[in-house]
A = this chain, B = another copy of it.
Amino acid sequence: MSWMTPKRAFMGAAAAEGGTKLNAFDNALLKLGIGNVNLVKLSSVIPAHIEWIEKVHDVPIGMLLPTVYAHIESDEPGMTISAALGVGISEGNEGGLIYEYSGYCTKKEAEEMVRKMVEEGFAVRGWKLKEFRAVSAEITVKDKPAAVVAAVVMFPY
């Protein structure tokens, strides 16, 4: 077990409303199952031989988890916001790359952005892209502040 070289990862995206922008963001994290931990923001590389898990469970409250995330909040009624993460896994699971995007756009547009970024990241490294996965979330602001978040959370065990 080591905080330094994560062993497992979870990937997800969610949208939520809240009484303030920060509460909306908090509510989106809760939907993802990571509202009660401390996210430590990372730049965006996936360790070799990572094992992907489907659900976050049994994490102590307040635990520090290294996380790559994209998010955006808005309180402008009628606006659509989206966040996406694109993950590229290399041949043999020898490592991978994560690229993030968030903005005033649809989730389809955000996903296209991260796909392009993953492809370029693999090309410049001369890595072979075995698998591409994206998660994204989109919300159109109504009468309350809203948030979207896309995250890859890494676990030391």
Contacts and interface: CB of A to CB of B under 8 A. Distances in A.
Chain A contact-residue range equals: 35 or more
A20 B62 contact: no
A3 to B, nearest CB: 6
B41 A125 contact: no
Interface of A: 3-6, 18-20, 22-23, 26-27, 29-30, 35-48, 50, 60-64, 66, 68, 94-96, 99-101, 113, 116-117, 120-121, 124-125, 156
How many copies of this chain does one complex carry? 3
Contacts of A116: 19-20
A38 B43 contact: yes
Contacts of A42: 38-40, 64
Contacts of A68: 38
A43 B62 contact: no
A122 B62 CA distance: 15
B4 A63 contact: yes
A152 to B, nearest CB: 11
A100 to B, nearest CB: 7
A27 to B, nearest CB: 6
B5 A60 contact: yes
A94 B120 CA distance: 43
Given A38-B44, A45-B38, A64 B5 contact: yes
Contacts of A99: 22-23, 26
A133 to B, nearest CB: 16
